[in-house]
Amino acid sequence: MKVTVFGIGYVGLVQAAVLADAGHSVCCVDIDSNKIENLKKGIIPIYEPGLTPLVESNYQAGRLLFTTDAAEGVNFGELQFIAVGTPPDEDGSADLKYVLKVAETIATHMQAPKVVIDKSTVPVGTADKVSAKMAQVLAERNVTIDFSVVSNPEFLKEGAAVNDCKRPDRIVIGTDSKEAEELMRELYAPFNRNHDKIVIMDIKSAELTKYAANCMLATKISFMNEMSNLAEKLGADIEMVRQGIGSDERIGYHFIYPGCGYGGSCFPKDVQALIRTAESIGYNSEILKAVESINYKQKEKLFEYICKHYQVWDQAQTGNIEGLLAGKTIALWGLSFKPNTDDMRDASSRRLMETLWQAGAKVQAYDPEAMEETQRIYGSRSDLSLMGTKESALNGADALVICTEWQSFRAPDFDLIKNALSESVIFDGRNMFEPERMNKKGFAYYCIGRALSV
């Protein structure tokens, strides 16, 4: 089939490459000419395991095309994916300007019927807005061309995106058109062989399904973080509690890890957006508001431990943290919001670094993939040194902080850490190590919700 994808980011590029690999012809359109030129040269703009060879081989085979020419893209595919960003607006609701711009572009250039597929995460009612925008533009052009709008939310996980797209758990398709449903079934047939993963529903339910999924996952994390705070104060060990509840198959072991807060491009903005959607219909979503505020506080947890360790927590609580940690250098391992990605949108490391800087500390940071992204976000500043290895980030630092649970951080050389730091202290936002073992090794070890450690 001939497919066009608008928006070649984490979702659009992976989806396009996986569809092309299955044999479809895919035209990728982005307004970022730099990104498109780089892709043509084989330079992939994001880090995602397995993505580079997939893009390269399908580009070489002629099944993947890259362009900034919207008209070319519109006239290429019978199926038109919208996979542009839906960032939070000022009030937290999803900003639909990029989505509606693509709708306008498609309607401006289309010469034949199209199925327009909302792949971006969009609030309930957006398909209607996309339809209305397209109808308006077609009316202005004084032409009648059929189109239908389908909601097909994406459930990939960054860090495992290629695998998730190749082997989806489910393929949600919201449509009220039998013809569109048939085309979507044909498109996804290569990914639907083992058992039927396609769930057909009405458009609004499909739109809400995506938010419900992300908000459920965010709720699991905030719930565990709430439990971890209780465990810490009650003298219990959240890791024991985690195993105790995970063994109940109604709860399960997945996604119940306590930590220094969730980040990324989806959970924070999607929880906020659903709160705003609820408010727009006069409904106060108490659970979602709690999920958001618990996460906001959890992202301050490591700073709290650092201040407690340096005995400046009482001052910090007054709200004025200027200069509280002046003279301290913090080694920071892990900048991306989770392992196996270079994405730093809303990453816990960012709030921590910004707070440390405000408190006068310096940061020596290392991440296996997110160094360029950190440089792009923060530029050069005297209180941030980006280090080439996790070991060099330790040199001359006073303490080590871990924000992301990269595999390569799991079995470090503890003697080397001890020798490199001015004091043997680790603040671990991801519970990577056993507190007792760390204490035996002579470390002051702070982690999340384990009373043994603090």
| Site residues, ligand NAD (CB under 6 A) | 6-12, 29-32, 35, 83-86, 98, 101-102, 120-121, 154, 156, 158, 265-266
Query: In terms of CB distance, is 37 or 179 closer to ligand NAD?
Result: 37
95 DSSP assignment? P
Look at the chain and count its residues. 454
The tokens of 41 are what? 């040269």
Given the DSSP bridges, would you call strands 425-428 and 362-366 parallel, antiparallel or unpaired?
A: unpaired
Query: In terms of CB distance, is 276 or 308 closer to ligand NAD?
Result: 276
Q: How far is the CB of 14 from ligand NAD (least distance, A)?
A: 8
DSSP line for 326-389: TT-EEEEE--SSSTT----TT-HHHHHHHHHHHTT-EEEEE-SS-HHHHHHHH-S-TTEEE-SS
Query: In terms of CB distance, is 170 or 410 closer to ligand NAD?
Result: 170
Residues 6+ apart with CB under 8 A from 109: 70, 71, 74, 75
Q: Determine whether 424 is exposed, middle or buried from the number of CB atoms within 10 Å of its CB (0-12, 13-18, 19+).
A: middle
The tokens of 166 are what? 């190749």
Q: How far is the CB of 268 from ligand NAD (least distance, A)?
A: 11
**DSSP reduced 3-state for 149:** strand
Q: How far is the CB of 212 from ligand NAD (least distance, A)?
A: 13
Q: How far is the CB of 439 from ligand NAD (least distance, A)?
A: 38
Task: Quickly count helices (H) and strands (E) in the chain.
Answer: 18, 14
Q: How far is the CB of 157 from ligand NAD (least distance, A)?
A: 7
**DSSP reduced 3-state for 207:** helix
Distance CA 415, CA 438 (A): 11
Q: How far is the CB of 81 from ligand NAD (least distance, A)?
A: 10
| Closest residue to ligand NAD in the complex (CB) | 9
Q: How far is the CB of 428 from ligand NAD (least distance, A)?
A: 25
Query: In terms of CB distance, is 22 or 82 closer to ligand NAD?
Result: 82
Query: In terms of CB distance, is 103 or 363 closer to ligand NAD?
Result: 103
Distance CA 138, CA 385 (A): 53
Query: In terms of CB distance, is 35 or 299 closer to ligand NAD?
Result: 35
DSSP line for 246-309: HTSTTT-STT----S---SSSHHHHHHHHHHHHHHTT---HHHHHHHHHHHHHTTHHHHHHHHH
Let me know: does 377 contact 347? Beta carbons within 8 Å.
no
Distance CA 176, CA 203 (A): 7
φ, ψ dihedrals at 123, nearest 5° = -65, 155
324 DSSP assignment? T
Query: In terms of CB distance, is 229 or 340 closer to ligand NAD?
Result: 340
Query: In terms of CB distance, is 205 or 395 closer to ligand NAD?
Result: 205
Q: Would you please indicate which residues are annotated as catalytic (active-site) residues? A: 266
**DSSP reduced 3-state for 325:** coil
Strand ranges, E, within 170-276: 171-174, 198-201
Q: How many CB atoms lie within 10 A of CB 240?
A: 11
Q: How far is the CB of 214 from ligand NAD (least distance, A)?
A: 8
Let me know: does 270 contact 121? Beta carbons within 8 Å.
yes
Distance CA 384, CA 374 (A): 10
Q: How far is the CB of 314 from ligand NAD (least distance, A)?
A: 40
Query: In terms of CB distance, is 27 or 397 closer to ligand NAD?
Result: 27
